């Protein structure tokens, strides 16, 4: 049984675990084994003698007064002070006495039990490590190979040591993947499902996927010179980005788009040819809303609470709204304001009263 100590380091190296984590797991496994062999009613403690490199098991008993009621129970976890003094003259009430239980006496049954306990707890340790690893990667871009597609068209992708799922709802409209395809996506959520398995949910529709692709494609965004302040998408159709530069000599929009649009076009191709508009971010709501409605030319913007009242000429109205209302919807999602269009020298533009609620749009098109 003492040979267990010799394999702690090899387990840690083989599984990529911390040595101290494996030590704690071995001690926990031995204590649980002792409870199964000697009885659940006893208290145990394990310790590793670093000098002798051996594992020790102790039964613990609590020193109580001679008339303590707990002495009348069936538990052997208590000893009266009188008997304790015979074992250790320095013992006092409240102390814990420990009796070492020789591991060699446990036998083959205990060895088999310990092995099962150790395997179980090492597996839980590995699962926790994987869970924490991918939980810390939420919002990060990953890529892997498609291993299967189920009848609901959920796509399963192997990424390193874990199989992830790209649900149909998180796939860009019109996309279809086959076994063997290499797919990029962003980690949207990590959780433990009903069967106690780690589930990593991927997304290609989240605005965060667009931002993650930008970090990969645009060096200025990766190094923090240019920041993506806001983004909004209607996946597969169109997206809008608001970027800002932290360096006076760097054009945020130019760096993001790239020479002749090479950078933004590469990202558009990955997003199933999604059109991507890039504007310069502004902390002034009126300016931000006017830019967000690009390519429309806006005459004036007034802020009323969380509503932006936009004045524009009649010929600019269709540009502001966009095909099927997509431009004004994205502008509302990007700015967080409900946008209302008003023609100059006219009444409010009817039901493009695009009193559009940005929060409702986010619920429809993902986070």
Q: Which residue has better confidence, 108 or 309?
A: 309
State the burial class of residue 77 (Cβ atoms within 10 Å of its Cβ: 0-12, 13-18, 19+): middle
Q: What is each CA distance from 118 to 27, 63, 100, 278, in whole angstroms?
A: 9, 32, 21, 55
Q: Using one digit for the tens of pLDDT, what is the confidence trace for 334-346?
A: 999 999 999 887 5
At the fourth CATH level, the homologous superfamily of domain 284-367 is K homology (KH) domain (3.30.300.20)
pLDDT for 73 equals 67
Choice among 119-123, 149-153, 363-367 with the minimum mean pLDDT: 363-367
User: What residues form DSSP beta bridges with 61?
Assistant: 97
User: Does the pLDDT at position 158 exceed 90?
Assistant: yes
164 φ, ψ (degrees, to nearest 5): -110, 165
Q: What is the predicted pLDDT for the residue at 165?
A: 96
What count of Cα atoms within 13 Å lies in the side-chain half-sphere of residue 168? 7
Polymer length of the chain: 367
Tokens of 102: 């020789």
Per-residue pLDDT, 2: 46
Q: How far apart are CA 58 and CA 119, in angstroms?
A: 22
Report strand pairing: 78-80 vs 54-64: parallel
Task: Show the tokens assigned to 323.
Answer: 């095909």
Output the CA angle 238-240-246, nearest 5 degrees: 155
**pLDDT confidence bin for 265, thresholds 50/70/90:** very high
Reported as type and span, the H/E element at residue 199 is strand 198-203
pLDDT: is 29 or 213 the higher one? Answer: 213
Measured CA to CA, the distance from residue 22 to residue 122 in angstroms comes to 7
Average pLDDT over residues 180-187: 96
Q: Which CATH architecture has domain 145-204?
A: Beta Barrel (2.40)
The domain locations on the chain are: 2-133, 145-204, 212-281, 284-367
- What pLDDT is stored for residue 351 in this prediction? 39
pLDDT tier, 121 (very low <50, low <70, confident <90, very high otherwise): confident
User: Got the DSSP string for 268-336?
Assistant: HHHTTS-EEEEEE--SSHHHHHHHHTTTSPPSEEEEETTEEEEEE-HHHHHHHH-GGGHHHHHHHHHH-
Same fold, 2-133 and 284-367: no
Confidence class of residue 329 from pLDDT cuts 50, 70 and 90? very high
Residue 208 CB neighbours (<10 A): 21
Question: Binning pLDDT at 50, 70 and 90, where does residue 215 land?
Answer: very high
Q: Classify domain 212-281 at the CATH superfamily level.
A: K homology (KH) domain (3.30.300.20)
Query: Out of 84-88, 164-168, 259-263, 322-326, which region has the weakest mean confidence (pLDDT)?
Result: 84-88
Q: Please say whether the structural domain 2-133 has been given the CATH code 3.90.950.20.
A: no
- State the pLDDT confidence band at 295, using cuts at 50, 70 and 90: very high
Cα–Cα distance measured from residue 309 to residue 340, given in angstroms and rounded to the nearest whole number: 5
């Amino acid at each position: 049984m003492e040979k267990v100590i010799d394999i702690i380091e090899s387990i840690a190296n083989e599984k990529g675990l911390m040595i101290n984590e494996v030590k704690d797991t071995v001690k926990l496994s031995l204590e649980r084994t002792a409870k199964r062999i000697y009885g659940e009613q006893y208290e145990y403690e394990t310790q590793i003698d670093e000098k002798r490199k051996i594992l020790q098991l102790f039964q613990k008993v609590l020193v109580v007064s001679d008339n303590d009621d707990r002495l009348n129970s069936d538990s052997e976890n208590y000893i009266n002070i009188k008997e304790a003094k015979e074992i250790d003259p320095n013992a006092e009430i409240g102390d814990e006495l420990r009796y070492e239980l020789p591991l060699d006496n446990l036998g083959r049954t205990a060895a088999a039990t310990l092995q099962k306990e150790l395997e179980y707890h090492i597996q839980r340790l590995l699962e926790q490590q994987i869970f924490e690893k991918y939980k810390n990667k939420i919002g990060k871009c990953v890529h892997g190979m498609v291993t299967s597609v189920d009848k609901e068209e959920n796509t399963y992708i192997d990424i390193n040591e874990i199989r992830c799922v790209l649900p149909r709802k998180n796939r860009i409209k019109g996309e279809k993947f086959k076994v063997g395809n290499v797919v990029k996506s962003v980690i949207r959520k990590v959780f433990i499902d009903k069967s106690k398995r780690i589930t990593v949910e991927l997304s290609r529709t989240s605005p965060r996927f667009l931002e993650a692709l930008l970090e990969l494609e645009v060096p200025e965004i990766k190094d923090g010179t240019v920041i993506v302040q806001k983004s909004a998408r209607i996946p597969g159709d169109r997206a809008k980005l608001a970027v800002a530069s932290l360096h006076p000599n760097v054009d945020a929009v130019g760096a993001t788009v790239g020479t002749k649009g090479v950078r933004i076009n590469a990202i558009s191709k990955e997003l199933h040819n999604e059109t991507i508009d890039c504007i310069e971010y502004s902390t002034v709501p009126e300016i931000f809303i006017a830019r967000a409605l690009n390519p429309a030319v806006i005459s004036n913007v007034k802020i009323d609470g969380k509503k932006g009242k936009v004045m524009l000429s009649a010929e600019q109205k269709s540009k502001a709204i966009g095909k099927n209302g997509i431009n004004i919807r994205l502008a509302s999602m990007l700015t967080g304001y409900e946008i209302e269009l008003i023609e100059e020298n006219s009444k409010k533009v009817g039901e493009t009263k695009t009193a559009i609620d940005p929060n409702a749009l986010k619920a429809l098109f993902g986070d």
